[in-house]
């Protein structure tokens, strides 16, 4: 398991690349190329969840309730 500082640095690098439209990242001596922006969003969500687990904070949950009278 990576340490918190490394995960946060990786998350910031990934967010920066996502905002600039870059799909290839280099960190810790590795080069990672993402196929799509959706894949990058999934990686960002995964890193956020891992950081939340390490720090003991819950990831925000959003619930949507819909109802109708049936006609």
- Domain span holding position 41: 4-55
Q: What's the predicted TM-score (pTM) here?
A: 0.72
67 domain-assigned = no
Q: Return phi, psi of residue 4, to 5°.
A: -60, -40
31 domain-assigned = yes
- pLDDT score recorded for residue 67: 83
71 domain-assigned = no
Spatial CB neighbours of 20, under 8 Å, sequence gap ≥ 6: none
State the total domains in the chain: 1
- pLDDT score recorded for residue 1: 56
* DSSP state for residue 71 in the 8-state scheme: -
Q: What Rg, from alpha-carbon coordinates, does the chain have?
A: 16
- In angstroms, the CA 50 to CA 46 distance is 6
- pLDDT score recorded for residue 14: 92
- pLDDT score recorded for residue 41: 92
Question: Which residues of the chain are under the pLDDT cut of 70?
Answer: 1, 59-60, 71
């Amino acid at each position: 398991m990576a340490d918190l500082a490394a995960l946060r640095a990786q998350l910031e690098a990934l967010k920066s690349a996502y905002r600039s439209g870059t799909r290839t990242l280099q960190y810790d001596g590795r080069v990672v190329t993402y196929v799509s922006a959706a894949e990058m969003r999934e990686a960002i969500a995964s890193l956020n969840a891992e950081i939340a687990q390490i720090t003991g904070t819950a990831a925000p949950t959003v619930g949507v309730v819909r109802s109708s009278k049936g006609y």
